[in-house]
Amino acid sequence: MPYPRAQHDAPHTKIFLLAFGMAGLAGHVNSAMLLAFGLPVSQMTGMASHMSEGMARVDFPIVLTAGLILLGFIGGATLSGLVIGRRQFPESPPYAWALALEMLLLLIAAVLALAGRDVASLTSAAFACGLQNALVASYRGLLIRTTHVTGIATDIGAYLARFLRRQVWSWHGWLLLVLLSGYIGGVLAQPLGTAGHRRQSAAARGSCGSGLPDRACLSAASGALDAQRLMTTKASA
C-alpha cells in the first residue's frame, strides 16, 4: 500500500491526544467484553473466524451471536459515513454528535449487560466500535484505525523499514505509536481496574482482620459471643 511522504508540518497536539484517547477507549471496551463474555467487539477478523467455527459445528447460537456482532460493527461504520461524509476531521460539528452517539451506545451496552442481555450488549458495543473506527478513516494521507491493532502494527513495521533505510521518521510514525500505546493502555486499564475492584470488595466485605470470608467472620464472632455468654452464666451460678 502507498504510504504518505514525510511532512514537516506535524499535526496539532490535540490530534495525538484524541488518537490516544479513542484507541484507549476501544481497547478498554474490547477488553471488558472479552472478560465478560469471551467475545471481542472491535476485531472483526476474529469474529468472522468465530462465526465460521460455528458454521462448521452447526452451532446456530454461535453463528447468530457472531453475525449480529459483525453486522453491528458494519452498521456503526455505515452510520458514521452517513453522519460525517467527507467532512474534514476534526473541524466539523457532526464529529461531536457522532462521539456523543458512541457514548450513548456504550452506555446502552453497559445497561444491557447488567440486565443480562448478553447478545444485545455485544451488538451495541460492536456498533459503537464500528462507528468510532469509521470516524477517522484517514488523516493527511495516513490511514487511521482506532479499534484494532493489526493495521497499526503493519504500518509501524513499514515506517521502521523506511527508518532503517535512513529515511526521516515522520510524525506519521509517532501517531501510529500513539495509537498502539493508547490501545494497549486501554486494555491494561480494564484488568487492573477489575483487580482493584475485587481487592476493595474483599476488604469491604472483610474478615475482621483474620483473613476469613465474611460468613466465616460472622460465624466466628457469633461463636465467641455465645462462649462469652456461657462463661457469664456459669460465673453467675
pLDDT at 107: 93
Q: Is the pLDDT of residue 194 over 80?
A: no
Q: Is the pLDDT of residue 212 over 70?
A: no
Q: Is the pLDDT of residue 196 over 80?
A: no
Query: By CB neighbour count within 10 A (0-12 exposed, 13-18 middle, 19+ buried), where does 27 fall?
Result: buried
Query: By CB neighbour count within 10 A (0-12 exposed, 13-18 middle, 19+ buried), where does 72 fall?
Result: buried
pLDDT at 215: 39
Mean pLDDT of all residues in 31-49: 88
Whether pTM > 0.75 for this model: the answer is no
**3-state secondary structure at position 6:** coil
Write down the domain spans for the chain. Answer: 13-195, 206-236
- What pLDDT digit, counting tens, does each position of 108-157 carry? 999 999 999 999 999 999 999 999 888 877 676 677 788 888 888 998 99
Q: Which candidate, 51, 67, 47, places its Cα nearest to that of 59?
A: 51
Please state the three-class secondary structure of 125-194 as a single string: HHHHHHHHHHHCCEECCEECCCCCCHHHHHHHHHHHHHHHCCCCCCHHHHHHHHHHHHHHHHHHHHHHHH
Q: Is the pLDDT of residue 26 over 60?
A: yes
- What pLDDT digit, counting tens, does each position of 54-104 carry? 999 999 999 999 999 999 999 999 998 888 876 555 556 777 788 889 999
- What pLDDT digit, counting tens, does each position of 1-17 carry? 444 454 555 667 888 88
Percent of the chain with pLDDT over 70: 70
The sign of the CA dihedral 89, 91, 97, 103 is: positive
At 225, the pLDDT band (50, 70, 90 cuts) reads very low
